Amino acid sequence: MNGHLQPEEQQNQRPKQELTWSWGHGPKNSPDRAEAMAPPPPPLAASTPLLHGEFGSYPARGPRYALTLTSQALHIQRLRPKPEARPRGGLVPLAEVSGCCTLRSRSPSDTAAYFCIYTYPRGRRGGRRRASRTFRADGAATYEENRSEAQRWATALMCLLRGLPLPGDGEITPELLPRPPRLLLLVNPFGGRGLAWQWCKNHVLPMISEAGLSFNLIQTERQNHARELVQGLSLSEWDGIVTLSGDGLLFEVLNGLLDRPDWEEAVKMPVGILPCGSGNALAGAVNQHGGFEPALGLDLLLNCSLLLCRGGGHPLDLLSVTLASGSRCFSFLSVAWGFVSDVDIQSERFRALGSARFTLGTVLGLATLHTYRGRLSYLPASVEPASPTPAHSLPRAKSELTLTPEPAPPMAHSPLHRSVSDLPLPLPQPALVSPGSPEPLPVLSLNGGGPELAGDWGGAGDAPLSPDPLLPSPPSSPKVASLSPITEGPPEMPASSGLPPPTSGAPATSTWGPPDHLLPPLGSPLPPDWVTLEGDFVLLLAISPSHLSADLVAAPHARFDDGLVHLCWVRSGISRAALLRLFLAMERGSHFSLGCPQLGYAAARAFRLEPLTPRGLLTVDGELVEYGPLQAQVHPGLGTLLTGPPGCAGQEP
């Protein structure tokens, strides 16, 4: 076995992160957070060996391996019975690893210890499949020594996954790992043609259990249910809120956080999204930010779940939208008018088709193409962004176009931490409580261990393995009745699979939140430094992140925290064929390079839209809102998005 830590002085340096507070030591107030966001030290070289050792396999009669752990991958080389010149599966990028655990044999005479890693490699056709590898630490005479070695490797691997520094003195013990973060999962069971619930049970919960995350899950029952829940949430009990649905559920969560009297603290709650809906625009941007290839459906869900397991947050710009009535809501995605909003709303009747509803809606929209007269005014970005790459170059047209920015260097991620969860579940299935919760389910034992491994890896004559917890057990939780995170708002009702899908309608609006200092009252004159365009438009889109849907890159150079709203419009006079070419090119983010004279773009800090056509549809993050004049401004970095580390998939083979 002879595992040892390589004597490198750089081992005590933290890998490059977006927000540099570590998972388990996240500051709760703004001064601490600002101090923690100081520039991190240089990251470890990707090829620097951190651990090296010899291990057996499970079953015990299998081959023996030499393992080398670096900051980017686990290298596996077979030693016996015959070394492989080109080992298959010999490189396991950490971007494909969800977690690991230590195990012990149920045979009292077995002195070996085991550690298992859970991976999701891509298959030959590109899709991910779950796999696990179990290694046998057997170089010492006693179980205690072997267990210490297995725990050392598992601890080092988990530290790398969570962005935690390794000590330079060689002392790698489980105490380096903080308690797991505490996540509240909200799932819309009707999302993705009703697949959301099945995907959640079959893929998401097992993966985050393998990662050692603590969670509770609630099924939403109706529109604005998630909003009501987070309005009454005791924020100190949670480290993140993750939605399993399309973009609509996250819209409810963010607006619920901002519609609290303590919104300034509430909006700091990190939020995440696991795509189980039809649009999945933000998930597409998260997938790209993580360095993965474009993906749809289950592949996109697995990619985003892997990133969630790694931890790490990124500042998220939010758009404050004031509607004609004076009410206000907050957007993380887009404001749309014309063709895009028409397709979004009119395709609701095809929701059973999943993401294909937008394809059918686009075909029908092209067949009945409308134009809308209106006035667009915007406050240009104070500093013009740098020119884009040639592939995404934008033609200047009539001095109304600014250029998209170059992608900024990624910052570092901010892991999170909390302990077990105590939210009362409205569901009858006890399987929806994480392993650290008061009533763990045997099937989801620590990190997904025990019973599953016994079935997957047990051979004739080999005793099955049982979980050997890497972390000490958390202290017993107080009774749910004495400490419930839901302190106000309507009581929760048991979920029912017979409920109809949520009906569309105007979303609730926010009465709290930051002031819009860039916007004069709606209807009053605009300052002279604003630019105004008036004419007939086919569509107008104001978008914050890069993606309009999982496979449409509307603003290729947009970032989560660039402080900009990206305005795209198409004037009348464009042919149906040309409009179709724009949307086809948008799949690659190359639509601005087509040289379409009707296509316009501007980067802005605020804008006002005044429809001059009496009838039409306006949407905010895909939700239908009242028709009429509206205005909005960007609030840079107001929220925090769980994204995983930037470009962590860049080492994928």
Give the residue numbers marked as catalytic. 247
Nearest to 581 by CA among 591, 572, 571: 591
C-alpha span between 304 and 283 (Å, rounded): 7
Q: What is the C-alpha separation between 61 and 82, in angstroms, rounded?
A: 14
Omega of the bond leading into 178 within 30 degrees of 0 (cis) = no
Residues in CB range of 313: below 8 A, 6 or more apart: 18, 19, 270, 413, 414, 416, 640, 641, 642, 643
Residue 461's region, left for phi above 0, alpha for psi from -120 to 50, else beta, is: left
Within 10 Å of residue 598's Cβ, how many Cβ atoms? 17
CB atoms within 10 A of CB 590: 16
The one-character DSSP state at 203 is I
CA gap 26, 15 in Å, rounded: 16
CA distance 120 to 590: 31
| DSSP-assigned beta bridge partners for residue 218 | 186
Pairing of β 372-380 and β 531-543: antiparallel
Residue whose pair of structure tokens reads 């790398």 in the numeric block: 160
Sign of CA dihedral 503, 506, 510, 515: positive
Contacts of 235 (CB under 8 A, 6+ apart): 262, 265, 266, 269
Is 482 in a helix, a strand, or coil?
helix
Cα–Cα distance for residue pair 330/56, rounded to 1 Å: 55
Q: Kindly provide the residue ranges of all beta strands, DSSP E only, lying in 407-545, ordered along the sequence.
A: 465-468, 531-543
What's the full length of the chain, in residues? 653
Among residues 109, 74, 67, 108, which one has the least CA distance to residue 93? 74
- CB half-sphere exposure, 652, CA atoms < 13 A: 20
Q: How far, in whole angstroms, is CA 546 from its chain's centroid?
A: 14
Name the packing angle between helices 339-346 and 356-367 (round to 10°).
120
Q: What is the CA radius of gyration of the chain?
A: 26
Residue 429's contacts (CB-CB under 8 Å, 6 or more residues apart) are none
Q: Which two tokens stand for residue 379?
A: 């406050």
Q: 200 by DSSP, 3-state: which?
A: helix
* H-helix or E-strand spanning residue 64: strand 64-69
DSSP 582: H
